[in-house]
Amino acid sequence: MSAVIIDGKAVAAKVKSDVAAKVASLNEKGIRPCLAVVLVGDNPASVSYVTGKRKALAEAGMVDRSVILPAETSEEEVLRLIDELNKDPEVHGILVQLPLPKHIDEKKVTNAILPEKDVDGFHPVNVGKLVTGEDGFLPCTPNGITVLLKEAGIETSGKKCVVIGRSNIVGKPMALLMLRKEFNATVTVCHTGTKNIAEFTKDADIVIAASGHPSTLTADMIKDGAVVIDVGVNRIPDSSKKSGFRLVGDVDFEGIKEKASFITPVPGGVGPMTIAMLIYNTLQAAENTLK
């Protein structure tokens, strides 16, 4: 048996196409969905992510109000910029690219963004809405994973789901989403304090790996026919590549694909969905101004 490889690029393209059509419709009503991406410094990974986000904005026909600031920009200046963007009615979404330079308090900056413009879904108000099941912006990566599961026709109701990782960006919100009645899974969260993770994953119907470490999940840790979603993006040195590295996920793809029923690749799996859902959230923020 060889797993069905879930094509995140294809699903993301479908989401972006739907968003672009709705953006065109909003333009006719005089609303131009606009996202401001704030980047402080020149961290290569962050620059790459921001470039991808700006490209997606252009493809969707959205207004790009990105602001690139030098690494030495003070916390006060960043907060002042966010205040200006909060007050600007033409800006619908604000995203501050993390990580920020060490002298800036990430929590303070995240909390300064108005919840109705927090298209990353990281503000405590939106996190609270996620917990209570109210409408709010959902974090892009976990929400993108639920779209992949739906598009692949994977049944989640009553299934045992193990999430590996408890970050505020992926692990915790992923577990909360899978607990919703819409998905109805029985969820276990494993983390660095979990003894013998395999004890839990071997019994799981769905394993979502977001540990941030290569080969966290290997073939001997899953049961036959399990669904495996790989959230990891790790750079491994590879002299045969022009860049000097290659990207791998958190799971042993080659070993697991012979045992799982479905699996996401890295790259080309969960990654493209993150940006697609960001564009979707920005559209939602613009539509909300009509209510």
Same domain, 92 and 179: no
Q: Are residues 145 and 254 in the same domain?
A: yes
| CATH code where residue 56 lies | 3.40.50.10860
Asked if residue 21 belongs to a domain, the reply is no
With respect to residue 290, please indicate whether it lies within any of the assigned structural domains. Answer: no
Tell me which residues are annotated as active site.
53, 97, 120
Looking at the fold, whether 151 and 243 belong to one and the same domain comes out as yes
The answer to the question of whether 255 is labelled as a binding residue is: no
- Asked if residue 122 is part of any domain, the answer here is no
Mean pLDDT on 245-272: 94
Q: What is the mean pLDDT of residues 134-141?
A: 96
**Residue 77: pLDDT above 80?**
yes
pLDDT mean over 1-9: 93
Residue 165 is labelled as binding a ligand: yes
Of the listed ranges 7-21, 48-62, 158-172, 238-252, the least confidently predicted one is 238-252
Full domain range(s) for residue 90: 30-114
Tokens of 270: 């969960």
How high is the pLDDT of residue 238? 77
Among 114, 148, 166, give the residue marking a domain's end: 114
Cβ neighbours of residue 286 closer than 8 Å, sequence gap 6 or more: 23, 26, 31, 32, 33, 34, 92, 93
| pTM confidence score | 0.94
CA distance 230 to 164: 10
Token reading at 123: 């503000």
Nearest to 179 by CA among 131, 121, 242: 131
Mean pLDDT of 48-60: 92
Mean pLDDT, rounded, of the chain = 95
Do 109 and 151 belong to one domain? no
In a domain, 171, yes or no: yes
Same domain, residue pair 109 and 187: no
**CA atoms of 170 and 5, how far apart (whole Å):** 21
91 marked among binding-site residues: no
What is the reported pLDDT for 236?
A: 80
Q: Is 50 found in the same domain as 160?
A: no
The answer on 96 and 56 residing in a single domain is yes
Cα separation, 265 vs 271, in Å, equals: 9
52 and 144, same structural domain? Answer: no
**Helix 140-151, helix 271-288: angle, nearest 10:** 110
DSSP bridge pairs for 234? 248
The 10 Å CB-count burial string (b at 16+, else e) for 117-140 is bbbbbbbeebbebbeeeeebbbbb
Q: What is the pLDDT of residues 190-241, one digit of tens each?
A: 999 999 999 999 999 999 999 999 999 999 999 999 999 999 988 888 788 8
Task: Provide the pLDDT for residue 129.
Answer: 97
Reported as a pLDDT band with limits 50, 70 and 90, residue 13 is very high
Ligand-binding site membership of 244 (annotated):
no
Domain boundary among 114, 129, 158: 114
Question: Do residue 208 and residue 252 come from a single domain?
Answer: yes
Q: What is the mean pLDDT of residues 97-111?
A: 95
Mean predicted confidence (pLDDT) in 76-85: 98
- Residue 262: per-residue pLDDT: 98
Q: Convert the chain into a string of H (helix), E (strand) and C (coil).
A: CCCEECCHHHHHHHHHHHHHHHHHHHHHCCCCCEEEEEEECCCHHHHHHHHHHHHHHHHHCCEECCEEECCCCCHHHHHHHHHHHHHCCCCCEEEECCCCCCCCCHHHHHHHCCHHHECCCCCHHHHHHHHHCCCCCCCHHHHHHHHHHHHCCCCCCCCEEEEECCCCCCHHHHHHHHHCCCCCCEEEEECCCCCCCHHHHCCCCEEEECCCCCCCECHHHCCCCCEEEECCCEEEECCCCCCCEEEECCECHHHHCCCCCEECCCCCCCHHHHHHHHHHHHHHHHHHCCC
Domain count along the chain: 2
On the question of pLDDT at 1 being above 80, the answer is no
- In one-letter notation, the amino acid at residue 117 is K
| Alpha carbon separation from 255 to 157, 164, 219, 263, 277 (Å, rounded) | 27, 18, 5, 11, 30
Given this model, what pLDDT does residue 281 score? 98
Are 188 and 106 part of one and the same domain? no
Let me know if residue 105 belongs to a domain. Answer: yes
Pairwise pLDDT comparison (243 vs 148), residue with the higher score? 148
Q: Look up the CATH number of the domain holding residue 165.
A: 3.40.50.720
Rounded Cα distance between 235 and 244, Å, is 9
Residue 7 lies in a domain: no
Contact 260, 225 (CB under 8 A): yes
